[in-house]
Structure 1
Amino acid sequence: MLRKHSGVICVAMCYILIGISYPVAKEAMESIPTWTFTLLTFLIAVVALFPLSLFIDKTNWLTIPLRDWTAISVQALFGAVLFTVFLLYGLPTTTAVAASVITSVAPAVVLVLSALFLKEKMQMKSLVSVLLAVISVIVMTLPGAGEGTGHNSLSGLLFLTLSTLSTSAVIIFAQKLSSQLKPLTMATGVCLVGAVLSVPLALPELRTFALTSLTQSQILVLVYYGITVWALPYVFFFHGIWRIPASTAGMTVALVPVASVLTSALFFSAAITATELTASGLIVASIVIAEMKLRRRALVAPVKS
């Protein structure tokens, strides 16, 4: 039971850290070219994780089998590169409300995919938990629904949908392509492959952007982002993802916008509304329901054996 609870906590921490980091890194992300920012933060994550993989996991990178490199590469492709590409191409031509609503369906997408590809049963508690997670993010968009004046393009909505599918696919692939590598090594490998895949996209930007123009504050944000969006979240993700059902992991994706809103309110003086507090409460409720399901499974399993 403790193992499964820790799995939920680890995966939840992954998405909480990502949500917290968005308000912190927003200014730097707007002033540094997108893929230059992505490449640099991936490299920082690798610098932080690689020595740890050698000294803690005792990983021999030259002997990692092809199967494990395949799992690492798929995670990096869908979880980092494709997700970022689709998100960045979709956001400029869609409203914030549309983006939040589309992102909020990720738990439901994971639930369906886990039933189709992982043969997980759609139990009532899973459906209720995911439904609360989806409703929470939709509710959170309501205060700003009347403020936006932008329009949604079909291509923008398509890209955002693809970004949501990429996020969902990461969880499914993590369950499907299990690896014998330790979480720290997996996280290092994903960041390494993510950096390699980002190079072709960053090179055109580096022709017109001088790295020497980076300010001290921008460098600090790059380091912060590399550690708290790539390095630590992936370590948490791989510590927990193989301990819990994919449907439960998918539910925690909805923590990203909730963590972002709360961080903006607490540390950046952003106003927080009763509706946003309600949305956060719904997320907590969805996690509690998921934990109740896990506790029941953990108690019943020994009786069957």
Structure 2
Amino acid sequence: MRAVYVKMTVATVLLGSYLVAGKLILKEVPVFTATFFRLVSAVAVLAVYVAVKSPGLVRPGRRDRAVIFTQALFGVFLFSVLAMYGVKFTGAIEAGVILGMVPISICLVAVLFLRERLSARRSIGIGVAVLGAAGINALSAGSSGGGSNEALGALLLVGAVLCEAVFVTFGKLLSRPIPPATLSLILSVVGALMFLGPAAAETSLAGLSQISWQTWALMAYTGVAINGVAVVLMYDSLASADTAVVAAFTALTPVSGAVLSVLLLGEHLHTYHVAGMVLVITGVYLVAKEKGEKPAIGAAVQEKSGAPDSGSMRGVEETAANRKGSVVDHA
């Protein structure tokens, strides 16, 4: 069991580093180009993992191909664009807290479109998490004087969270289950193809030659370490760890992101950051773990690694809350 804890701790730290790495990458590389090379790196890692763990070609039917395309559009393409531009206009700490609310958004989408029940406990959890995230961003905008930029960044991040929720709910529409790692690989390939055109228009070959080796290393890192290693570690952890334990670890992702933001980006951790993170983690826990019922965040969800990803980051929260019927990411 100690080995599982080590795996989940490493995965949490890697996922928390996504926005920090993204913030550094965006100083030199545009959004579409950075995301394209991240997904290419992820494809390389996931292709090896899938070949070793589950050899054999999965051929989705026509209906499932349409579902996967929609998942890639919302969960990989739009999520990545909104998340990267969002972190560009906000601090990595604030962005991490908002993106940590993916389970909350999934619950809301399930209630609105899948007619799932919203209990008093879940309502309180949603309210507590929203209060924490909103408070952090309001106080951050006020203290920094950034005003409209921070507000725009927060709005983009909320859009990214909603895109992730659409991705998860569409996973229920697959006619037959696809192994999570294989689905992650497929989504990364489709996502990379979606980003190829915009990236080519955004950056020329001459522009690529001007990118420093440090930034190239960071782009490779986000694909290999976050969308690859972190995803694999989470998959392995789900095989032997209780859902509540995994959920507790993934809820710490915004915390690890905040610590890394302070250490690597020189951002300042204020009291309201800590208070907001506590509220968000508490709200996510209340929603994900309701006594006597299945987790609130969809009982049978397929995962992905598109962004923060997984995702990335984007998918690990889904996995933790949906061990039954699924086994994410992201990152």
TM-score range, shorter chain: 0.7 to 0.9
In the TM superposition, what is the alpha-carbon distance from 1:45 to its structure 2 partner? Answer: 0.4
SS at match of 1:122: coil
1:79 corresponds to 2:75: yes
Residues 1-305 of structure 1 mapped to structure 2, 5 A cutoff: 17-61=14-58, 63-87=59-83, 109-152=105-148, 162-177=159-174, 179-207=176-204, 209-232=206-229, 236=234, 257-290=254-287, 292-293=289-290, 295-297=291-293
Structure 2 stretches of 5 or more lacking a match? 239-246, 295-331
The worse-fitting range, judged by mean Cα deviation, of 199-208 and 149-158 is 149-158
Cα distance per residue 1:270-302 (max 9 Å; x no partner): 332222222222233234424541x5226xxxx
Conserved? CA contact 2:75–2:163, under 8 Å: yes
The answer for the alignment partner of 2:317 in structure 1 is: none
Equivalent-residue separation in structure 1 for 2:175 and 2:10 (angstroms): 21
Greater RCO (Cα-Cα under 8 Å, separation 6 or more)? 1
Aligned AA (1:111): C
Aligned to 2:325: none
Identify if the C-alpha distance between structure 1 residues 82 and 121 changes in structure 2 by more than 3 Å, giving closer, same or farther: same
CA shift, 1:168, in A, is: 2.3
Larger radius of gyration: 1
Query: Secondary structure in 2 aligned to 1:31?
Result: coil
SS of the residue 1:163 aligns to = helix
The residue type equivalent to 2:32 in the other structure is: W
**Residue identity opposite 1:296 in structure 2:** G
Q: Distance in 1 between matches of 2:37 and 2:273?
A: 33
Query: Partner letter of residue 280 of structure 1?
Result: M
Identical-pair percentage: 22
1:103 to 1:25, Cα distance in 2 relative to 1, 3 A: closer
Structure 1 CA distance, aligned partners of 2:281 and 2:105?
A: 20
- Stretches of structure 1 that go unaligned for 5 or more consecutive residues are 1-5, 241-248, 299-305
Whether the 8 Å CA contact 2:20–2:264 is kept in 1: the answer is no
Normalised TM-score (structure 1): 0.72
C-alpha distance in 2 between matches for 1:165 and 1:54? 32
TM-score scaled by length of structure 2: 0.67
Deviation of the 1:56 alpha carbon: 0.7
Query: Distance in 2 between the 1:88 and 1:219 partners?
Result: 17
Which residue identity does 1:120 align to in structure 2? E
Equivalent position amino acid for 1:123 in 2? S
1: distance between equivalents of 2:157 and 2:289? 32
Q: C-alpha displacement at 1:50, in angstroms?
A: 0.7
Q: 1:81-113: CA deviations, max 9, x gaps?
A: 122334556777x7769x869868765543332
SS at match of 1:41: helix
RMSD: 4.1
Amino acid at match of 2:201: P
Name the amino acid aligned to 1:285.
Answer: T
Question: Retained in 2: the 8 A contact 1:187–1:231?
Answer: no
TM-fit CA distance, 1:46: 0.3
Matched positions, count? 279
Cα distance in 2 between the residues matched to 1:57 and 1:19: 28
